[in-house]
Amino acid sequence: MSGPEPSRSESDPGARTEWCTHCGDPAFGRVSLVFERESGSREIDLWLCGRCMDSFTAEPGVRLAE
């Protein structure tokens, strides 16, 4: 009988797969985005896949942090 794959150990960070905060796909990596608004800018760290990172940075007022 086949069941779900066993979960990997939380104590082994190299075995973990991070998931995109926006869509849930496997993440490309952790990305710092800066959101520029009239009230000021805000930097947020997110785990994003490449597609969502491209989508966010294509929006006006959103850029990768330096």
Burial of 19 (0-12, 13-18, 19+ CB in 10 A): middle
Query: pLDDT higher for 11 or 19?
Result: 19
At residue 14 the predicted structure's pLDDT band, cuts being 50, 70 and 90, is low
Q: What are phi and psi of 6, to 5 degrees?
A: -65, 145
pLDDT at 23: 96
pLDDT at 66: 87
First-to-last alpha carbon distance for the chain, in angstroms, is: 50
> pLDDT tens-digit profile of 15-59?
457 999 999 999 999 999 999 999 999 999 999 999 999 999 999
Vertex 44, ends 60 and 28: CA angle to 5°? 85
pLDDT at 11: 45
Strands, sheet with 62-64, edge to edge from the N-terminal-most edge strand: 40-48, 29-37, 62-64
